[in-house]
Amino acid sequence: MKNQQIEEKVLKGRKIGGLIVFLYILLFIGSIASIIYTGMNAVDDNPQPLPLFLACITFIMFGWIMMLGLRVLKPNEALVLTLFGKYVGTLKGDGFFYVNPFCTSFNPAANTRLGQSGDVVPAKRSIVTGQAEAAGVSATDTSKKISLKVMTLSNSKQKVNDVLGNPVEVAVAVMWKVSDTAKAVFNVDNFKEYLSLQCDSAVRNVVKIYPYDVTDNVDTTGDGEADDGSLRGSTEVVARRIKEEIQSKVSDAGLEIVDARITYLAYAPEIAAAMLQRQQAAAVVDARKLIVDGAVGMVEMALERLSEKNTVELDEERKAAMVSNLLVVLCGNKDAQPIVNSGSLY
């Protein structure tokens, strides 16, 4: 059996909260004046003012119920309203609203704190000790309003194995917002926890496709051909795939993923030292290769210049000795010590 899909219905023309407050004050003052007037002019044989007197007393006792329908919203806030368990509609936009006094606000994620923007509760400072104390969140302090602003969810870093099985630690920051309040409230039990779990799942599903560094014979795009994609070198591509993965999972929850960014990426501590040595060795090999290529070019240039200008005639054995000496000088780690040959070349 499929879940019932509820479409968002925005309530319009309800910004009459100021008018309701004004009418209530007028009726309250009029009721008090009427009670005083009928009490001063009551006559035993004239029961006419009695119904008016009872009506005024009833309004003073129960008229405050109409004030329960007042709602105040700031910009980029929404309020989902239900009446006896039935979805009535959603208030959006800033203003002073008035709705059915028996409508209740519904937001199952109101008490959820994920440490993200908008969920951080400021610390209270103790009057006695002067030290900061964590503020508790109670049902009376928690607002049922739903923020429509762009929120930033930064889950804690998690350990994931890349495509080669190497454990890496990844942390992702996800920018998101509520696009459909009815779906967010009614389609999932708690849309904040649902988003957090889907973020963790998407990170694992995407990271395991890529190697940490560029590796031969690894297909990261799914086209059957090896490519040069990696977590370290293709950060933008990986972040975009994580965003698309999360969006595909949270669309039914009325959430929109604005952006996703990798905020932390490193090898796990147990292999970090070994991988660092591997990177250092690869860097040394690349540097040596570059030095050798340059040295060979310089030796070739030296021999060509000597031959062109006929500076000295060298046989093959002397050329080999010269090449050997030049390569030692150019490729050595230490400065060469000059040796002066005062004898004959042969």
Residue 240 lies in a domain: yes
CATH number of the domain bearing residue 175:
3.30.479.30
Which has more pLDDT, 232 or 319? 232
Write down the pTM of the prediction. Answer: 0.71
Examine the domain organization and report whether 249 and 181 are in the same domain.
yes
- What are the C-alpha distances in Å from 106 to residues 8, 80, 100, 186? 14, 6, 14, 9
What was the pLDDT predicted at 56? 86
Last residue of a domain, one of 248, 267, 286: 267
Domain that holds residue 223: 149-267
Do 153 and 263 sit in the same domain of this protein?
Answer: yes
For the stretch 164-211, pLDDT in tens is 888 899 999 999 999 999 999 999 999 999 999 999 999 999 999 998
Convert the pLDDT of each residue in 105-164 to its tens digit: 999 988 888 766 666 555 454 444 444 444 444 333 457 899 999 999 988 888 888 888
4 lies in some domain: no
Both 262 and 296 in a single domain? Answer: no
Q: Which residues contact 58 (CB under 8 A, 6 or more apart)?
A: none
10 within some domain: no
In this structure, is residue 12 part of a structural domain?
Answer: no
Q: Is residue 123 part of a domain?
A: no
If you average pLDDT over residues 279-302, what whole number do you get?
Answer: 77
Rounded Cα–Cα distance for residues 114 and 119 (Å): 6
pLDDT over threshold 90, residue 81: yes
Higher pLDDT among residues 131 and 104, named by residue: 104
- Counting the structural domains of the chain, the total is 3
Average pLDDT, the chain: 80
In a shared domain, residues 215 and 172? yes
The pLDDT tens digits for 300-327 are 787 777 777 776 666 777 777 777 777 7
**Would residue 285 count as lying in a domain?**
yes
346: pLDDT confidence band, cut at 50, 70 and 90? Answer: low
Indicate if 210 and 280 belong to the same structural domain.
Answer: no
Confidence at residue 140, expressed as pLDDT on a 0 to 100 scale: 36
Q: Check whether residue 214 and residue 165 sit in a common domain.
A: yes
> And the tokens for 152?
């930033």
